[in-house]
A and B are shown apart, each in its own frame.
Chain A
């Protein structure tokens, strides 16, 4: 029971991070029907940016307050990663729009290979650790010497996720930008005919996805305190699983899917075998796609004859 509650907390924390990445997948897929294969690596890049900003803020500027440092790091990472997201869309995906269907996917795989190797070449192949930022924990209850703890950083991660989701939910549902996005999702050509700047909307979608990935990257860094150039692929695939599980194209679905994947991963590691935790995630992806391709909150696709 104690182990279960502890894993539940850990799983939800991890799930929040996956959910944030998953939104990037789901929004891009919704609007241009493409799996942005490089999104996992954008997340990894953002974690590196966050790491470097953290070093910059603490060591160079000497800001002692962790809260202020964290906010600066997160906003800085969001801005800088957004610039990457914008540039990648502009250079690797936009020229291919309306072309051969496989082209954007291959291009995205190329971007993914480029990004992970760019970080490897520019920052080195080793793991990059930072000293823990937030150490305090709240012991919820204790039984038989096993303490169920909720750490401050877990609270920060979950709260940040919730707040940012609320903001993005508002943007997508209530603002003209969100309306344009939803219109482009339905019918891009028609949206262009009624005067929506489709290119700009798609660019902004990539920017939003990248900035949420940057939040996820900052949270990942806060949680694990270490990042390496190879950290993009597996979280990327897991977040994609989350997006599919929740129903691709659905924002709440992506978050729900993220939480489920996070829980499955931590509970699997705790009760079955930690070596096979990635196998479990990949198998879940296959099972979901095969048996419920429209996901939990997605719309079923009817075959048109």
Chain B
């Protein structure tokens, strides 16, 4: 993250197309110096000292100017590099930016089958790469996690991307789905396959109940009310101990079965039924394909809905609500369907979460989850299914890389845990991503119906809704 560079000199000396002059380097150095000084100011006292407790539990300040020096130095270098890059760019001849070159479109054409192919063979690829099913455990688990977020992103995309309704409390429906399965299966012993549709229906029902009063609100107000509802549901889950067991959560939720056949080493288990040797990984692989199917169902249904009148009405609503009303569209009901269908997919994903974890607690459904899902949708490019999938891989997969940066321990000392910085970097990335691509990775819209020739619609024309 660097300061806005708009005030950096935009015109370079003629003839210096790709190199920068000494004066420019001086400017860049000055900018970098200012940034470093600013960082120094911001570091006082929050970074320059650490509050520690002594034996009598009183706080005292532990100076750590070394850290401040490192951070200031880093900022200096980053700012310097960004400045020089901006100057070089300004000096280079302006290139016209083609809206969507044929190459990019072609890339898009192969991207979808490629993704699908990788997704379908992922467990196989993972075990080949790691030398066995057991070794692929981590990778398949990561695949399940990513696909869960892909599904949640696609579900929320209906509400935010298509209908243009900003929902900051989507995690509430995820929670409703998870608790529906957890409660129904532990109380009545109902199977996952019975609970899954019920969880979806219950989540949709809650979507309608919560949506009904709030959908006449506009813009950021809607976002805040949905946030409030999300928090209310979480707080109720924490405090309604008789039903939900409070903050301790619900454990020993029945595990997923292969359509009734349990994944265990018993006589009637999955392994002996198919005559293969038992491995706990069978359940993992099954879970992987289960979430893949659920996500693909979400995707197919969304693609179909876009071509139906209701989907077109959602997009029209995002473009201009008043015009919609003048064309006889019942805007309230249309918004409610978007809310309910989005919630339903959240509910499906929630019951999958519960069956996968075997344990649910309110802390899994905090605001941060909503923020992650929303940022997946926004980074993906509002309304774009492929974009959302890519964004989910980036947002969920990339932080996982931090776990593998163990070598940093050698640099920063043994108690350095890169994982601690996961959310810190996540927050920074959200800001950087908005500054870099406010419209997301896929900035154009595909028309839902074509008369003669399919043309992508530039993102600058597509409105983002006011709800």
Chain A contact residues, CB within 8 Å of chain B: 34-35, 45, 48-49, 51-53, 55-56, 59-60, 80, 83-84, 87, 90-92, 94-96, 99-107, 109-115, 117-124, 126, 128-131, 233, 237, 240, 244, 275-276, 278-279, 282-283, 285-286, 289-290, 293, 303, 305
Contact = CB atoms under 8 A, between A and B. Distances in A.
Contacts of B166: 102, 105
B215 to A, nearest CB: 10
10 contacts: A45-B46, A52-B46, A59-B61, A80-B44, A91-B431, A100-B438, A106-B378, A110-B375, A244-B221, A285-B228
Given A49-B45, A52-B49, A282 B228 contact: yes
Contact of A87 (B38, B367, B435): B38
A113 B42 contact: no
Interface residues of B, number: 64
B88 to A, nearest CB: 19
Given A124-B50, A237-B227, A279-B236, A110 B420 contact: no
Contact of A91 (B3, B60, B424): B3
A35 B430 contact: no
B75 to A, nearest CB: 11
B375 A106 contact: yes
B78 to A, nearest CB: 12
B45 A80 contact: yes
A282 B232 contact: yes
B42 A92 contact: no
Nearest to B374: A106
Interface in B13-56: 38, 41-42, 44-47, 49-51, 53
A35 to B, nearest CB: 5
Contacts of B322: 303, 305
Which among A87, A110, A244, A289 has the highest number of chain B CB atoms within 10 Å?
A110
Contacts of A115: 427
B371 interface: yes
Contacts of B426: 110, 113, 117
B428 interface: yes
Contacts of B423: 113, 117
B114 interface: no
A90 B1 CA distance: 11
Interface string B427-456: 111110111001100000000000000000
A91 B46 CA distance: 19
A119 B46 contact: yes
Interface string B51-81: 1010001111100000000000000000000
